[in-house]
């Protein structure tokens, strides 16, 4: 899965795809232990897809949060007695 494909997805689709990939990875790991996986390199590809999705989701969260940040806050109280 390419990053351009991920960026074209709606946020809900990204979350759903991430959950699907996690489930797929779980199955691949189990199959690998049982020696049923025909291509062990598929595990690597799924792990990388998960990392790409998580990275893009985190970028979107940072973008959304950056627009909502306020300036530095001042401490209340003034001078001490």
CATH number for the domain including 16? Answer: 1.10.287.310
61 inside domain: yes
pLDDT on residue 61: 92
Whole domain around residue 15: which residue ranges?
3-66
42 inside domain: yes
Sign of the torsion angle spanned by Cα atoms 20, 6, 48, 15:
negative
pLDDT on residue 22: 97
Per 3-state DSSP, the chain is made up of helix, strand and coil in percentages (nearest 5) of 70, 0, 30
pLDDT on residue 77: 58
pLDDT on residue 12: 92
pLDDT on residue 69: 58
> Which is nearest to 17 in space by CA: 37, 39, 31, 1?
1
pLDDT on residue 65: 86
30 inside domain: yes
29 inside domain: yes
**pLDDT tens for each residue of 18-76:** 999 999 999 999 998 888 888 889 999 999 999 999 999 999 999 988 877 555 565 65
78 inside domain: no
Question: Domain count of the chain?
Answer: 1
28 inside domain: yes
Residues sharing a CB contact under 8 Å with residue 1, sequence separation 6 or more, in sequence order: 49, 52, 53
């Amino acid at each position: 899965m390419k990053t351009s494909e991920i960026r074209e997805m709606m946020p809900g689709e990204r979350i759903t795809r991430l959950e699907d990939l996690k489930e797929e990875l779980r199955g691949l790991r189990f199959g690998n232990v049982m020696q049923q996986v025909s291509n062990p390199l598929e595990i690597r590809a799924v792990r990388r897809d998960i990392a790409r999705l998580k990275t893009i989701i985190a970028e979107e969260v940072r973008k959304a949060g950056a627009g909502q940040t306020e300036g530095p806050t001042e401490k209340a109280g003034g001078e001490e007695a």
